[in-house]
Amino acid sequence: MIEEQFSIGDSFVHNLDPRVKIIVAIIFSVVVAVSSNFSALLPALVVAVLLILLAKLPVGKVFYRLLLVNGLILFLWFFIPFTFRGDTLFTVGPLVGTKQGVLYASQITLKSNTILLAMIALLATIPISTLGHAMRQLHVPDKVVHLFLFTYRYIHVIFQEYQRLVNAMKMRGFIPKTNIHTYKSYAYLMGILLVRSYDRAERIHKAMLCRGFTGKYYTLSRFSVRTGDLVYLTVMLAAILGLVMLQWRVTI
Amino acid sequence: MHISEGVMSAPVLITGAALAAAGISVGLKKMDSDKIPEVAVLSSVFFVASLIHVPIGPSSVHLIINGINGLLLGWLCFPSILVALTLQAILFQFGGITVLGVNTVNMALPGVICYYLFGRLVSRERRIVSLVAAFSCGFFAVLFSGILVALSLVFTEESFMPVAKLIVLAHMPVMIIEGIITLFCVAFLKRVKPELLGGIYGKGS
């Protein structure tokens, strides 16, 4: 259930320096998030799709992922066309859908999916542990990086523990229903997860101290910026600059 | 209760990021390096809880437990929720980079507020006081989160008002379930490991 679906692969994007990918992903997302002009948003979507293709990710899986995370967007589509004031475009019973509303909803949909695609292409293609080290090199506070790496490590352990406990509950004939018994059982499940994880954390910490942990993480992986990375960074920054100019109608 | 990328306006995103940065820096100051493994394990419980679906009528909702998180972690719940949300963004693409600040504040701030409102009451001797406080903690943490999500939407665009109201209303059942779960969870912890509830993580040192 918890797996890094897109992080393993051998493509130009997978082999890029993770720091370059993080920087590009952040700048690209921010620019798209504050854009509102269709003449900038459509090219941005094209760029994002190109990034996915360049990463040679399985299109079906990427598409499925997009469907899953478009829930809120779909929900908004039921409202925005009707709550937005503007020129009438269509009517459903007593409700009036406006042109401005539909345009606004399309704009949000476009922005959301463009950023998602870029995130899948750029961030989801970095293994989490590499991401942690890259974050540290980008001067994210050490404590945050440690917390991030530890949390990722324990998600798997705790999820396994959770599955073990749920299996045990099923063996005893537990069937979740809408009643107090069910909620109580889930609450006790949470409780025992917390207690066990607390004990585990104590053991981990002692074990780490025994091995001489001083609050520093050492890594053998060295990042190096190669020509490919520089070319990629330049091209992407130029593309993003182009989007900015399209959005704010700047002409040279 | 994540807000997706691309929905919020720039001022809301910037305000969210600034508030999150402030909360996280307070949390980091109070977090000794020693405590990182403990906070990490709790952050992962928080992450895993969001994968647990409990039935409600014909449908189901996933647990949020930001009330319990706040109760156990105090201010540390800011960094804790930050990393959990970052992992969700990278692994499942729920949320994302530009909304990370807003989403962190929407989840963690209610946790911190509930820690101050109910933290002391929960560890009281009298069973009834402690249980009512525990229920309120779970209930209000989700309510405040819902209100913050609604506010983020309304500040983005006024015509989001009906959606915002509906989101808060739709979370009513979730609030009750979270309240019940927090109540039983606290009752359980009091019997099994009372020291966890003393806010030992939250105090800092």
Q: What was the ipTM of the complex prediction?
A: 0.91
Claim to verify: residue A174 and residue A51 sit in the same structural domain:
no
B78-123 pLDDT, tens per residue? 999 999 999 999 988 888 899 999 999 999 999 999 999 998 898 8
**A192: contact with B, CB 8 A cutoff:** yes
pLDDT one-digit tens code per residue, A177-198 = 889 999 999 999 999 999 998 8
Taking Cα atoms as reference points, which of A111, A114, A88, A115 lies closest to residue A101? A88
Task: Mark whether A166 and A230 lie in a shared domain.
Answer: no
Q: Are residues A118 and A35 in the same domain?
A: yes
Residue A232 CB partners (closer than 8 Å, separation 6+) = A12, A16, A20, A24
Is A3 inside any structural domain?
Answer: no
Domain range for A143 is: 133-210
Which of the 8 DSSP states describes residue B93?
A: -
DSSP annotation of B60: E
Say if A186 is an interface residue toward chain B (CB within 8 Å). Answer: yes
pLDDT tens-digit series, residues A202-214 = 888 889 889 988 7
Answer yes or no: do A190 and A227 share one domain.
Answer: no
Count of domains observed in chain B:
1
> Domain containing B52 — which CATH number?
1.10.1760.20
Q: Are A114 and A137 found together in one domain?
A: no
User: Quick one: A138 and A118 in the same domain?
Assistant: no
- Are A31 and A104 found together in one domain? yes
Measured between CB atoms, which of A29, A101, A187 is closest to B5? A29
B66 inside domain: yes
Does some domain include residue B176? yes
- How many domains does chain A fold into? 2
Q: How confident is the model at residue B205 (pLDDT cuts 50, 70, 90)?
A: very low
Instruction: Quote the minimal CA–CA distance from B36 to chain A in Å.
Output: 6
Of B10, B86, B177, the CB nearest to A183: B177
Q: Given this model, what pLDDT does residue B201 score?
A: 57
In a domain, A48, yes or no: yes
Task: Take residue B74 and report the two structure tokens written for it.
Answer: 């105090």
Instruction: Establish if A76 belongs to a structural domain.
Output: yes
Q: Is A164 touching B (CB cutoff 8 A)? A: no
Q: In b/e form, how buried is each residue of A196-209, taking b as 16+ CB within 10 angstroms?
A: bbbebbeebbeeee
Q: Which domain holds residue B16?
A: 10-198
pLDDT in tens, A70-104: 888 888 888 888 888 888 888 888 888 888 889 99
